[in-house]
Amino acid sequence: MVAHRKKKYSTGEGAQFISRKAALKKLQLSLNDFRRLCIIKGIYPREPRNRKRAQKGAPGIKMLYHIKDIQFLLYEPIIWKLREYKIFNRKVGRAKAVKDFKAMRRYLANHPTIKLDHIVKERYPSFIDALRDLDDCLTLCFLFSTFPSLPHIPRTQSDLCRRLSMEFLHAVIEAKAFPIVASYSTYTIGFMPEIEYGIFACCYYYQAEIKGQTITWIVPHHFSFEPQSKAEVDFKIMSTFVEFYTIMLGFVNFRLYHTLNLFYPPKFAIMDNPNEGEKALADENIFVAERVAALNIPLSKSVLGGEEETEIDNFDLQENAEATEEARKEIESIKVLKNLFKGMKFFLNREVPREPLVFIIRCFGGEVSWDKSLFIGATFGETDESITHQIVDRPSMEKKYISRYYIQPQWIFDCVNTRSLLPVSKYFMGEILPPHLSPFVDKDRDENYIPPEERALYDQDAVEQMHKEESADESDKESPNKEEEDEEDLNENFKDVEVSDDKKVKLGVTPGQIEKEAPWKKKREERQEYKLREKMIKKKHRNLYKSMMNAKRERGKQAWLLNKKRKLHDEKEKVKTKSKKKINN
């Protein structure tokens, strides 16, 4: 009996992958509908190990999908809605062509709609799963909240993104999420227990930790919108992503508000009045003013109880005593940090960025206001004698009040970054601000450059120790034979012992001698052990290991260059200070 020979590419990677053209034929969808369906379902192209086998010997580079992903799409009910939408477009187009407006109005009244609630529950079975994938969701929603009406972006979608993004910011404020702030050029903010964000030339960077999941998103500045002259960005694909993300963010906001014992959805004055909403969309200044005013208004809480404060159980075990004490200290520091600005009243000048400052000050229990003649939503005026701090960003002012501090915006962010109220003397109006420290630097990562100012945050004596290293090295060079002298003194203590009758008796056991370990031998053994560990790496992980080592070397080079630049800068500053002293003398 002759055994049947298997057909080529019927097994292995040849049978595991399918091209996009074959997937369109299998699903009977157009390219636009296929893209939309893949974005909503979270299915993306795969990279095979052997592209030649996956492409069944075809030359070039094709877009490949896993066959199981395409089979998964076959059972999606949205496919039938997409086909209904295709038929709907044909009917409307035909009625418009023959000028049958009565039929066209009837078709438009029965417009097919796609619901994505079941897909959100399918992709994110738990709340933690949704938080893990919230980075791109928040970034796109905050971006679309600043867009006007575009050809592929309806105004209703921008309004929805605006409302959802404001709801998320209110959840952060009501939770008193404590930020870790860098400086005026890079800000940071936090949500139970940490949240960070940085501001650069075009946007703010936020990083939050909610339910143990780190979330990073970007918020753009409110500049006047400039249309794209070239087709560099496909707004249609971005709008498809936002179509799914708005549903997802709505679920997340609902859960956060009920966790914080708040009514959902909250009501905003600008959204309740449609005429005011249209006016705000037409005027960028009104839009920003209404957004910031909403942040300064507290939300009403529900009758039901929310989350209780975390308490540490007391155990008598000595093994957990240290860990329990550290956890208790951390919780106490969090309680103090949440009320960092409690009892303080801040007044913002017109030249400072209001939205991030209002956001951070309210997160820490402070009160904030501005000039009501310029922007709406002010709660008190500049003449209020109870104002403790006025935030300005100009070299001088004509009229000043003795009862308040005039400080620059970086003071607020640095206070949150250090978890304490810093002295205001370095942040007075017109003063040169301290160096900026980025919050997105991992201090525990090796081969990273850490400036002296950042080291001082973790160790106050680090800077002084760094300056004393050179003098310590010189003192060590003066006595190179110090270890040999110590060894001779130790051997003298093990000499013959004097006993009675002036007799000397030698010990039965000869004293041990200190054997000095050669440092080069120890380094050689460490290198050999390291090479042996490298050889034990599996073949499939070697390329990953090589890329990790290359990245480590690149970080080391950058750290070396930054250290060199810092030394040159410090030397120049020393020369300048010396020359100034000579001139003054």
**How many other CB atoms are found less than 10 A from the CB of residue 171?**
23
User: CB-based contacts of 54: which residues, under 8 Å, 6+ apart?
Assistant: 13, 14, 16, 17, 48, 64
Question: Is the pLDDT score of 440 beyond 80?
Answer: no
- Environment class of 13 (CB within 10 Å of its CB; exposed 0-12, middle 13-18, buried 19+): middle
Question: Is the pLDDT score of 347 beyond 90?
Answer: yes
Question: Is the pLDDT score of 283 beyond 90?
Answer: no
Half-sphere exposure of 33 (CA within 13 A, CB side): 19
Which residue would you say has higher pLDDT here, 376 or 448? Answer: 376
Which range, of 185-189, 297-301, 356-360, averages the lowest pLDDT?
185-189
d(CA 397, CA 392): 9
Confidence at residue 245, expressed as pLDDT on a 0 to 100 scale:
95
Of residues 322, 324, 290, the one with CA closest to residue 310: 324
Question: Is the pLDDT score of 428 beyond 60?
Answer: yes
Which range, of 267-271, 453-457, 532-536, averages the lowest pLDDT?
267-271
Which range, of 318-322, 550-554, 578-582, averages the lowest pLDDT?
318-322
- Tell me the pLDDT tens digit for each residue of 41-75: 999 999 998 888 898 888 888 999 999 999 999 98
**DSSP per-residue string spanning 165-214:** HHHHHHHHHHTTPPP----SSS----BTTBEEEEE-SSEEEEEEEETTEE
pLDDT band at residue 459 using 50, 70 and 90 as cut-offs: low
What percentage of the chain exceeds 70 in pLDDT? 75
d(CA 234, CA 524): 57
Average pLDDT over residues 539-564: 88
CA distances from 268 to 156, 207, 292, 367, 397 (A): 16, 26, 12, 20, 35
d(CA 391, CA 346): 7
pLDDT band at residue 395 using 50, 70 and 90 as cut-offs: confident
> What domains can be seen in the chain, in order of their start residue?
13-76 (no CATH), 117-223+234-295 (no CATH), 340-427 (3.40.50.10190), 444-462+543-585 (no CATH)
Confidence at residue 189, expressed as pLDDT on a 0 to 100 scale:
36
Confidence at residue 493, expressed as pLDDT on a 0 to 100 scale:
47
Look up residue 18 and give its amino acid: I
pLDDT band at residue 351 using 50, 70 and 90 as cut-offs: confident
Helix (H) or strand (E) holding 216: strand 213-220
Which range, of 106-115, 305-314, 537-546, averages the lowest pLDDT?
305-314
Beta bridge partners of 214: 209
Segment 298-307 long-range contacts (CB within 8 Å, at least 24 positions apart)? 298/174, 299/170, 299/174, 299/262, 299/263, 299/266, 300/262, 300/263, 301/261, 301/262, 301/263, 302/261, 302/262, 302/263, 304/261, 305/261, 306/259, 306/260, 306/261, 306/262, 307/259, 307/260, 307/261
d(CA 113, CA 101): 21
**DSSP per-residue string spanning 539-573:** GGGHHHHHHHHHHHHHHHHHHHHHHHHHHHHHHHH
Q: Is 0.85 surpassed by the pTM of this model?
A: no
Sheet with 213-220, side-by-side order of all strands: 195-199, 203-210, 213-220
Measure CA of the first residue to CA of the last residue in the chain; give whole Å: 109
Average pLDDT over residues 282-295: 67
Q: What is the mean pLDDT of the chain?
A: 77
Of residues 356, 337, 336, 338, the one with CA closest to residue 346: 356
pLDDT band at residue 225 using 50, 70 and 90 as cut-offs: low
Pairing of strands 345-348, 367-370: parallel
d(CA 250, CA 164): 7
Question: Is the pLDDT score of 490 beyond 60?
Answer: no
Average pLDDT over residues 120-142: 92
Q: For tokens 């999908």, what's the residue? A: 65
pLDDT band at residue 192 using 50, 70 and 90 as cut-offs: very low
d(CA 106, CA 91): 10
Confidence at residue 182, expressed as pLDDT on a 0 to 100 scale:
38
Of residues 190, 205, 198, the one with CA closest to residue 338: 190
Which range, of 223-232, 484-493, 506-515, 561-570, averages the lowest pLDDT?
484-493
Which residue would you say has higher pLDDT here, 180 or 210? Answer: 210
User: CB-based contacts of 474: which residues, under 8 Å, 6+ apart?
Assistant: none
Which range, of 129-138, 159-168, 318-327, averages the lowest pLDDT?
318-327
